[in-house]
Chains A and B, each alone.
Chain A
Amino acid sequence: MSGRIEVTSPLELPDLEKLLAGFLREEIGKAGFARAVVGVSGGLDSAVVLLLAARALAPENVLALVLPYRTSSPDSVRDARAVIAVAGTPSEEIDISPMVDAFAAAAGCDDPLRLGNRMARERMALLYDRALRDRALVVGTSNKTELLLGYSTRWGDGAYDLNPVGDLYKAQVRALGAHLGVPRAILEKAPSADLWPGQTDEQELGLTYADADRVLWYLVDQRGRPERAAEELGVPQAAVDRVLRLMTATQFKRNLPLICKVQLRTVGIDFRLPRDWGR
């Protein structure tokens, strides 16, 4: 390979939009539903998913949920409202501070990481509550970079029914976002889980998304050799090492819980029935 490798869209953007909107429409339909719920954080991934869902199902069939905690950045809510206005979907804003604070007090927890996990799970609980109320499915927003680095809360933002952007690296989600009309403020800001003030993903991961995308693409999609990645991609060896460490350490998050095989056919092992069975 020569020159700087950029991770660009795997398909022409209009085809990619058609593919992902069709995925949402057909797979939600086959599950017997016509509606979706999306948690909108004010960040890029959920903005892209909201716009895709609105195009797939018509805006009135998509509920945008904005679920800030009291330390969430005011920009997050502002940006969430901006993309909801573009999507034209109904929305609800619910402050999760009372629930999270009640948990912190009752459980005696003031560790920011644990509280961050609780916030993610509080949001998940609200998304699924609305989904049941509205007969809708929860659409996830984790991108491929996050999935492969395990950068999510198990059963929090990692819990959903289906996900249109899980095979797109961060840079690919950004290109799709620009195509779909995601507001510029969202396209340009530093990605953040916004679980505490001033947090950015890149700081917490110890990696830039640009490096993470390229290393992951090289290792996963191109089946490149780890020992050649730094040289071929022109990224620091430390970035390659960090990616490898995070990927291996979080493999459990990309699998369903293990079940001990006792009999002839076992759920999760050799009970090989498709999800779309008869649909």
Chain B
Amino acid sequence: MRIALAQTDPRLADVEANLAGIERTVAAALDAGADLAVFPELALTGYRLRDLVPQVALRLDRAGPVRDRLAALSERLPFVVGLVEESADHRFYNAAAWFEDGRLVHVHRKVYLPTYGMFDEAMDFARGRRLAAFDTRFGRAGILICEDLWHPTATTVLALDGAVLVVGIAASPLRGQGVGSADPSHLSGRQLAEVLARFHTVPMVYVNRSGYEEGLAFGGGSFAIGAMGETLAEAPLLEEALVVATVDPDRTRAARAAYPLVRDERPGLLARELRRIARGEGLEADEEDGR
């Protein structure tokens, strides 16, 4: 399976320009022999939208010119794209859509919205409430958006739900640590994904955008990692790129034969313990409130 990592640089709040760019990139990915193209978080809209979120939001539950163009594009090549999704009751989600064969297969709404330091996503977006794998023409897959990857349990849930591919998309601003002795508490996204791939014996692709918004530089540096943590492909830092990674399902099979970690996971035990902990801390009620 050949996956094109489409490390693009969207224009802020210009859906038409970004859609045209996505169409061009899909054509280029096809030329490069890809079976699937993966675009970054909010690739259709740009990242630092704030008050512009409602202006660029897309209804996926009914026909519309942008949704229909995306669906039509997937007749040429399946792809995953980050966008702002508006629900029927007008909540706005930082979401990722998997299109293939002319239809929308799955929408993942970002579950963990970073709202600290330089991030204020929970000001502008509603929290996703589901983590689920889904069937694609390549087998079962799962999608995570940026901060979702920093919560390792999200990958665990997808692996337990049968995902044999995890697609991570991001709009991650570059920020160095500023001192020679690197702070060991800051694992890079790359190290993090290698560990997640190995813990779950699952191939992971990570597509981060490039370009600048409001003084933020998005680092690029997209990559694909195999089920043994091995690097399959990497894109350059700080520039647009289209890199094709080959994910071999046989390598995943071999990894799972050697390390049956997913097989030996204990979802029932985990669910029981999580219920106990959630009850104790009053978090269950919080979830029921849908917050």
A interface with B by C-beta (< 8 Å): 1, 5-11, 15-16, 18-19, 22-23, 26-27, 30, 162, 169, 172, 217, 221-222, 271-279
Contacts and interface: CB of A to CB of B under 8 A. Distances in A.
Contacts of A279: 11-12
Interface of B: 11-14, 46, 48-52, 174-181, 183, 211-215, 217, 237-239
What are the 9 tightest A-B residue pairs by CB atom distance, in nearest-first order? A10-B176, A272-B50, A8-B180, A10-B178, A272-B51, A26-B212, A11-B176, A276-B12, A274-B48
Given A10-B176, A23-B215, A27-B212, A18 B51 contact: no
B50 A217 contact: no
A274 B52 contact: yes
Contacts of B175: 10
A273 B52 contact: yes
B180 to A, nearest CB: 4
Contact of B212 (A9, A22, A273, A278): A22
B211 A26 contact: yes
Given A7-B178, A8-B180, A217-B179, A274 B212 contact: no
9 contacts: A7-B178, A22-B212, A22-B238, A23-B215, A26-B211, A26-B212, A162-B215, A222-B183, A276-B12
A105 B242 CA distance: 63
Contacts of B49: 274
Given A8-B179, A271-B51, A278 B12 contact: yes
A231 to B, nearest CB: 17
Could you tell me the dominant secondary structure of chain B's interface residues? loop
B12 A274 contact: yes
Contacts of B213: 274, 276
A140 B13 CA distance: 27
Contacts of B177: 10, 221
A11 B238 CA distance: 12
B178 A217 contact: yes
B179 A5 contact: yes
Contacts of A277: 12-13, 52
Contacts of A275: 214
Contacts of B237: 15, 18
Given A8-B180, A23-B215, 18 more contacts: A7-B178, A8-B179, A10-B176, A10-B177, A11-B176, A15-B237, A16-B176, A19-B238, A22-B217, A26-B211, A162-B215, A172-B178, A221-B177, A222-B179, A273-B52, A274-B13, A276-B214, A278-B12
A48 B101 CA distance: 52
Given A23-B215, A277-B12, A6 B180 contact: yes
Contacts of B214: 274-276
B237 to A, nearest CB: 6
B15 to A, nearest CB: 11
Contacts of A8: 178-180
Contacts of B211: 26
Contacts of B212: 22-23, 26-27, 30
B240 to A, nearest CB: 11
Contacts of B11: 278-279
B17 to A, nearest CB: 10
Nearest to B236: A18
A19 B218 CA distance: 9
A223 to B, nearest CB: 10
A221 B50 contact: no
A6 B52 contact: no
A24 to B, nearest CB: 10
A18 B179 contact: no
A172 B215 CA distance: 18
B179 A6 contact: yes
A217 B49 CA distance: 30
A112 B71 CA distance: 68
Contacts of B46: 276
A267 to B, nearest CB: 12
A27 B11 CA distance: 12
A6 to B, nearest CB: 6
A18 B12 CA distance: 22
Contacts of B50: 272-274
A137 to B, nearest CB: 14
Contacts of A19: 174, 217, 238
A36 to B, nearest CB: 15
Contacts of B217: 19, 22-23
B9 to A, nearest CB: 8
